[in-house]
Amino acid sequence: MDILIQLIINGLLLGGAYAIISLGLTLIFGVVRVVNFAHGEFLMIGMYLVYLAASHFGIHPYVGLVPVAVILFALGAATQRLVIQPLLNADEHIQIFATVGISTILLNLALVVFGANVLRAPVELGTDSISVGNYAMVTGQLITFLAALVLAVLLHLFMHRTYLGRALRAVAQHRYAAMLMGVNVKAVYVLAFGLGTAFVGIAAGLLAPQYPVFPTVGTYFVLTAFVIVVLGGMGSLYGAVAGSMIIGVVDTLAGYYIAPDLKEVVYFGIFLLILVLRPTGLFGVGTE
């Protein structure tokens, strides 16, 4: 029983990392209605920036995530304004091809600049562990989990208690009706894409003490994030958090009780089963 509880704890802590990435992906899709296939490469860029700040300037990733999130917000906003905005009225597959193109450019740019070497931020805080009774937790994972909960609460309050948040929700529900009510839809799209990308900047700082950085580091996390977003319900912020915890626990249990190489098969199977039973995902469609 102790092993099972330890695995569940590990899974929930892992779900915290997935949640931050998935919240950003969900926000972009829920408002802009664009599936951002470059989300993983934005995470990768963020992790490289955090690595450079830590290795060259001695800035710990937990501090460096603040300027990195700002930089990625600007990068996401520019991507929306310069690339996605002109294609909003085009077919969906054109928008998807555009984000795939951005992904390819960023991936190859990282290969040219940094090479294929695996790099790790030279830090200690976040790599040790603490014990609570019979159970151990890696401090970096615990900090990431707590940060995910705080970010989810703050995002909920922002979406429900502020004018900009209500504008985001209005555009997510019906952009033409929001436009008639005086909402600047183009500015809201830029804000949503920037915020969604800033989330991976925060995730980059939180993940840097735990994971190395290399050009394809974002692929694994974002592939899982896509599963989480669809599982929780496309555009559902609550679904992104719940789906992250479910996938985190399933990932850990399957890796221990079945085989590490088959854990993706297990949670993809559960994902497909839930979609067959409930095609809209656990929390339906739309941003709360």
pLDDT tens digits for the chain (288 residues)?
788 999 999 999 999 999 999 999 999 988 988 889 999 999 999 999 999 999 999 899 999 999 999 999 999 999 999 999 998 887 778 888 999 999 999 999 999 999 988 999 888 776 778 888 788 888 999 999 999 999 999 999 999 999 999 999 999 888 889 888 889 999 999 999 999 999 999 999 999 988 999 999 998 888 888 888 888 887 788 889 999 999 999 989 988 888 888 888 887 888 788 888 888 877 765 434
Task: Say what the pTM is.
Answer: 0.91
- pLDDT of res. 176: 87
* Rounded alpha-carbon distances, angstroms, from residue 124 to 120, 178, 214, 262: 11, 48, 20, 31
- pLDDT of res. 288: 41
Taken in order 134, 139, 141, 142, is the CA torsion positive or negative? positive
- pLDDT of res. 134: 83
- pLDDT of res. 287: 39
